[in-house]
């Protein structure tokens, strides 16, 4: 089955994940330099089978036309550079998906760093969200993640300062 393309940019196809992407998912998320920035308790993916499970979970989330966790594929090579997401932030009171607060995020393989792919894919996700009727979109970044803080700046996001509202950790929050 050919994965659905959600949106395109000059250099990228942003699409649903395919079962055949498991090796690349594992290669991205097994790396501490990527995973250290993710979740309340960062940890690396430890086995290839976990990649298949996460692709299944992301595919479930991608059934809503507005939200998703998508593969970012480079047009020229066909290589998946990473992940871009547009998802409801967790409700601070109980951790379930919130109503109205939506996050844009990105996770890229180190071989894709430094080429503007995170900014390009996130800009497309933001545009996708606004076209779907969202009125604002947040980014939540660990304070020492200099690269992602810079992406927020390039996206023109406004800093809300450090907050502990989401993910049970102190994070820099931004909104657009």
CATH numbers and ranges of domains, the chain: 5-175 (3.40.630.30)
Q: pLDDT below 70 — which residues of the chain?
A: 1, 93-99
Structure tokens at 146: 């200099």
Residue 97's pLDDT is 59
Bridge partners for 148 per DSSP: none
Sort residue 167 into left (φ over 0), alpha (ψ -120 to 50) or beta: left
Torsion angles phi and psi, residue 150, rounded to 5: -65, -40
Summarised one tens digit per residue, pLDDT across range 77-89 is 999 999 999 999 9
Task: Find, among 136, 140, 138, 145, the residue nearest to 172 by Cα.
Answer: 140
Longest distance between any two alpha carbons in the chain, whole Å: 44
**How much is the pTM?**
0.92
């Amino acid at each position: 089955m050919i994965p659905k393309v959600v949106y395109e940019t000059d250099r990228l196809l942003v699409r649903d994940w395919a079962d055949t992407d498991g090796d690349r998912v594992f290669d991205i998320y097994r790396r501490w330099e990527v995973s250290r920035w993710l979740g309340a308790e960062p940890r690396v993916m430890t086995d290839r089978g976990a990649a298949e499970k996460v692709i299944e979970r992301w595919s479930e989330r991608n059934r809503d036309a507005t939200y998703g966790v998508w593969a970012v594929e480079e047009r020229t090579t066909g290589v998946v550079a990473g992940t871009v997401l547009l998802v409801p932030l967790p409700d601070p009171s109980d951790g379930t998906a919130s109503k109205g607060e939506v996050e844009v995020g990105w996770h890229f393989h180190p071989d894709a760093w430094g080429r503007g792919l995170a900014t390009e894919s996130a800009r497309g996700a933001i545009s996708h969200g606004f076209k779907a009727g969202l009125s604002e979109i947040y980014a939540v970044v660990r304070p020492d993640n200099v690269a992602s803080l810079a992406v927020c700046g390039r996206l023109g996001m406004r800093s809300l300062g450090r907050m502990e509202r989401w993910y049970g950790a102190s994070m820099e929050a931004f909104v657009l």
